[in-house]
Structure 1
Amino acid sequence: MAPNNIPVVERLQGLVVGASLGDALGLPSEGLSRQRIARLWPGPLTHRFIAGRGMGSDDTEHLVFTALAILKCRGDTKLFQTTLARHLRWWLLLLPAGVGLATARALVKLWLGWKPGRNGVFSAGNGPGMRSSVIGAVLPGSPDLIILYVTASTRLTHTDPKALTGALALAHSAAWIRAADTPLEELFLTWESLSIDQEWRNAVSLIQSCHGAQVSVSEFAARFGCTRRVSGYIYHSVPIALYAWLHHRGNYSDTLTEVVRCGGDTDTVAAMAGALAGLDVGIHGIPTPWRKGWCDWPTTQEYLLDLGRHLAAFDPSSPSASIPDKPHWALVLPRNLLFLFVVLCHGFRRLLPPY
């Protein structure tokens, strides 16, 4: 169980850094089956992206863009949506290596003249989940505002109601963590109330029963139908992220280790689980070697910590908000080309033994 006396600033820093490290630690395993991951890397989870260091992908970038939009909008959800849309539009031109098909199509529509909020495509991918935990974390006492923000964020890329349900589940979970001392049963009821879709309610019921029986994350994934890998379908990725966080609550490293071992969309699922686990334990509950292994730029760890400080001071009713200096996004293209080269090297490495 995570302590509830952690300062807010440490919690928000834990969320931002926790999500980014989940992204970085899960990235080398993305798309692999759990069996292949076990053969390639039988030891403890560590940074394996480049020379024992880790870099973030689209999961980290979407979270940063969402945080910056929250800070700028000062409670105006329309401004939030247009600001986030602007960040994502320019981001697409910088050749991000991990952009999903649905997200790419939605952002192309923005460039072709569609209005933000009308450009989304019908998809139940997990893109909106990358952006939602931070919303719940900064608006813990405003459930109606959480719904407005998450809906605005989700519909920028995905219009399938399932995408909104999954994103809201993560946001409300983050708000529940911030509330502290609220019974777990209330969180289960909140999840169940998000949709009348029987598939979603079955997922919530399975989380409850497996949590009560203390079933492992791998066994939960198997019972959930993800025996080889976790897909990018939001009704798969979000329940497994939620269960991993809940099952290993208070232990960030175990949460991420078990998520990555499940295979599949490991970077996104680990980023979603890492956001909740990091918010729960705070920045000092995240293993120092993993934090020191972050080597990305311009989204350095110092920048992520500063972003967490600004989020902790956010007040939606304030007429002004403190916004951190923007990273030098114009210089991201060389970084993305290096990132793409490393990703291709990983692809070739996967063709080699052990099988």
Structure 2
Amino acid sequence: MTDYLISPQLRRDRARGVLVGAACGDALGVPYEFGPALGPNTLPEMIGGGLGPYQPGEYSDDTQMHVVIARVAASGADLRTDEALRSVAEGFLDWAAGGATDIGAQTRAVLSAARGAADPLAAMREAARQTHESTGRSAGNGSLMRTGVLALAYLNDRAALAEAARAVSGLTHYDPVAGEACVLWCEAIRVAVLDGTLDGPQSGLDLLDEAAAQRWKAWLDEAATQPPAAFAPNGYVVRALQAAWSAILGIPIPEDNPGRHFGRALYAAVRAGDDTDTVAAIGGALLGGRWGVSSIYPVWRDAVHGWPGLREPDLVALCDAIVDQRGGFPAEG
């Protein structure tokens, strides 16, 4: 193991990149949401607009919900417990009532059903179950987009991370496929932060049961052979993850400046079209965890902002607090 891999300073930089990377991907994709695939020479910009309409550099519901989870994790709470999950549920409801600039259809249905309940956690879980049973579909990408920061809360315990990822996903997305996607992506981020590698979601296949692992292996293999636009429409969590992973894999890592991979892969994610802010937010969390906040273009870091009045230093502070309150980095050696 090299000094690069075990340096606490570099690990800290990578941890900070998770939430800032997700927010930058989100804000970069906002102007192009639900649009067609972009040409290979198009450089997406943080020009705002979109469904909000948003200001230039403003992130959307993807990062807004991420922030709710990050705040609970930054308190030191264990996201596997009902107490912490209740705080997340209450945070989602408060956000929906007073801060949301946009809410996905499935999440909106669940939060609306849970509004005003005496026990918001129980109500949200029940609403998620009923939504799934009434529609037969609850594996949208709305939980995958918000759970990457959980990796920072369980850097030293991959099994606990998998449990937390499923629990937080299940608040609004009852389908186990959505939870499986969150497990795989969170584990990929955890490995990226600790080891400085892009082993990707394959590193978490052993955290799934055998049948699920086989399905996901096939889906990941497909992502490795197709361009990101091949997975549009990408509102389904599998196709959203495939699009993000395809964008990351499809861009060569520059030998002279590897961190440039962050921005170039995010461009590829947005060019895929359709749910551009979500795919780029998903990809940004992993890319930021691999390359660190220092790899993100300064103009993006300066511009990114959003509910509840946060900017890049605030997102960095949340990442630091999660790592410090939840056990820190493993001992070197």
Q: TM-score, normalised by structure 1?
A: 0.75
The question of 1:202 aligning with 2:206 is answered no
CA-to-aligned-CA distance 1:105-130 (integer Å, 9 cap, x gap): 11122215361433323201111112
CA contact (8 A) 2:22 2:284 kept: yes
Residue 130 of structure 1 corresponds to: 145
**1:119-268 to 2 correspondences below 5 Å:** 119-120=127-128, 121-122=131-132, 123-180=138-195, 184=199, 188=202, 190-191=204-205, 194=208, 196-197=211-212, 199-207=215-223, 210=225, 219-221=226-228, 225-226=230-231, 229-248=232-251, 250=259, 251-268=261-278
CA-to-aligned-CA distance 1:200-229 (integer Å, 9 cap, x gap): 332122245x3xxxxxxxx4335xx43xx3
**Gaps (5+ residues) in structure 2?**
133-137, 254-258, 329-333
Structure 1 residues 68 and 276, CA gap change in structure 2 (3 angstroms): same
Structure 1 residues 221 and 7, CA gap change in structure 2 (3 angstroms): closer
The amino acid across from 2:69 in the alignment is: T
**Gaps (5+ residues) in structure 1?**
211-218, 318-355
Describe the SS at the equivalent of 2:148: helix
CA-to-aligned-CA distance 1:325-351 (integer Å, 9 cap, x gap): xxxxxxxxxxxxxxxxxxxxxxxxxxx
Residue 316 of structure 1, CA deviation: 5.1
The question of 1:82 aligning with 2:86 is answered yes
CA contact (8 A) 1:253 1:287 kept: yes
The question of 1:301 aligning with 2:312 is answered yes
Residue 9 of structure 1 corresponds to: 12
* Counterpart-to-counterpart distance in 1, 2:58 and 2:203: 36
CA-to-aligned-CA distance 1:47-104 (integer Å, 9 cap, x gap): 1116983101101111111111112353362222111001001111126232011111
Instruction: Please give the root-mean-square deviation of Cα atoms over the aligned residues, in Å.
Output: 2.7
* Counterpart-to-counterpart distance in 2, 1:22 and 1:221: 15
1:69 aligns with one of 69, 72, 85: 72
CA-to-aligned-CA distance 1:296-346 (integer Å, 9 cap, x gap): 4612222112212212312259xxxxxxxxxxxxxxxxxxxxxxxxxxxxx
* Counterpart-to-counterpart distance in 1, 2:196 and 2:108: 40
* Counterpart-to-counterpart distance in 2, 1:316 and 1:80: 17
The question of 1:97 aligning with 2:101 is answered yes
After TM superposition, the structure 1 stretch with the greater mean CA deviation from structure 2, 275-284 or 306-315, is 306-315
Residue 288 of structure 1 corresponds to: 298
CA contact (8 A) 2:159 2:207 kept: no
* Counterpart-to-counterpart distance in 1, 2:107 and 2:201: 29
Structure 1 residues 183 and 63, CA gap change in structure 2 (3 angstroms): closer
Aligned residues: 297
Describe the SS at the equivalent of 2:238: helix
* Counterpart-to-counterpart distance in 2, 1:290 and 1:128: 24
* Counterpart-to-counterpart distance in 2, 1:243 and 1:280: 16
Residue 214 of structure 1 corresponds to: none
Residue 118 of structure 1 corresponds to: 126
Q: TM-score, normalised by structure 2?
A: 0.80
Residue 23 of structure 1 corresponds to: 26
Describe the SS at the equivalent of 2:220: helix
After TM superposition, the structure 1 stretch with the greater mean CA deviation from structure 2, 99-108 or 293-302, is 293-302
